[in-house]
Amino acid sequence: MTDFKDNPHFQLFLRQKNNQFKVGKGTYSQRVKRLNLLQRAIEFTYREQIKEALYKDLGKPVVETELTEIYQIIGDIKHAKQYLHKWMRKQKVKTPLSMLGSSSYYIYESKGVCLIISPWNFPFNLTFGPLVSAIAAGNTVIIKPSEVTPHSSALMAKIIEDVFSEDEVALVQGEAEVSTELLKLPFNHIFFTGSPNVGKIVMTAAAKNLTSVTLELGGKSPTFIDKTANIDMVAKKIMWGKFMNAGQICVSPDYVLIDESIKAKFIEACKKWLKNFYTEQPEHSESYARIVTQKHFERLKSHIKNAESLNATIEIGGKLDSDTKYIEPTLVSNLKEEASLLQDEIFGPILPILTYSTIDEAIDYVNSKERPLALYVYSKNKSNTKKIIENTRAGGTCINNNVIHYANHHLPFGGTNNSGIGKSNGFFGFKAFSNERAIVKQHTIGVTELLFPPYTDLKEKLARLTIKWF
């Protein structure tokens, strides 16, 4: 092993490395016991503290905390406990006739020492979700949460210390420099959630040690709406999915592509549902979150100012309050292509509305961009829906809804290319933290032994027959 003695986290890494075979050989019952301890801590012991920490960091409403943080983690744990016994079984496969006398199977074995670098927008969910998969697969884990949400990170550190020994699961707090040092260590797997730009840094660092990665990134998730859609229903669902957590969601609709003939009707329906959700004064609503930091507030503010400078139309919203980091739910139309809102993932409560005259035109626009983490289609026309799905690429898709695919533990979650590498969620998360180890067991003399050297004409004929028939 390379000399990492000057790395401040090497001794912690080494303790987990020395312990990882013991943890990896843990039985189903032992792994479930660890998951139970984590479940109890989140569901009961620290539940109220989690709500308080998220309110301090993000102004997150209690109901959103319950549904998108606590419920999701508990769901992850319950799903893993229900299926873990099946996942841990030896997986038998067929053996070809050319290998007569042997049997074949594979096992899911732990990768070893894993690093989880988690984001700030759903700090508990996106830290403990991957952790559940890592524990289920029998790994030791070091966690680096975001420094942007300090109250949440401090509480997670307390939970981890309460539930696990340090040589099993540990959490390290700090600024970006801490992540830099951790990434120098030869982890067996790295699970990162964040932006594509930082994802590239993580992947570059991982490559130096040939470490496998799961990268859950982001991108500009498009939403198609055709003229067959139920506009009132569409507006209701999009206003919910877009403005939950003040739009700070990696799978929220990033922009709308709508048939130009129904644009006005859609905007009116959006106004209705925003008023219904957050009243006429969202700044006073207890159901609406805030922007996480002043830096992110200024970034989003600059998007709105840029759109205004290019004569875009603020259809709804646009109000800002720097002191409280409040940005009103905002819909913007008539955007020029060079507008910054159309260049980078918004990750905030601003929704651009673009119009199209044909589905093909809308598809071409989406395909001119990087492949998104999510893509949504609202339509009653099966032909249109099929056409959009078959002619685009995305990590995941909802038809006549948005965001909710993440909550189905039976589905893989993750991006493609710029929006991510690898999958998580349920079995797919367990698989990400596992090595599929192939095993062949020889029972009797094998056919292949007839073809061992020295090579003769007869063996050449046998080889030809093997190729032809087996």
Q: Is 85 left (phi over 0), alpha (psi -120 to 50) or beta?
A: alpha
Closest CA to 194 of 210, 174, 216, 214: 216
- How far apart are alpha carbons 268 and 290 in whole angstroms? 25
Catalytic residue, candidates 216, 315, 328, 345: 216
- How far apart are alpha carbons 145 and 134 in whole angstroms? 16
Closest CA to 185 of 15, 355, 369: 15
Q: Which residues pair with 170 in a beta bridge?
A: 142
Please check whether residue 133 is in contact with residue 126, taking contact to mean a CB–CB distance below 8 angstroms.
no
Please check whether residue 420 is in contact with residue 414, taking contact to mean a CB–CB distance below 8 angstroms.
yes
Catalytic residue, candidates 64, 69, 168, 250: 250
102-110/113-117 β-pairing: unpaired
Annotated active-site residue 250? The verdict is yes
- How far apart are alpha carbons 272 and 232 in whole angstroms? 9
Bond prior to 123 in cis (omega within 30° of 0): no
- How far apart are alpha carbons 287 and 269 in whole angstroms? 19
The DSSP annotation for 38-59 comes to: HHHIIIIITHHHHHHHHHHHH-
Annotated active-site residue 390? The verdict is no
Which residues are tagged catalytic? 216, 250
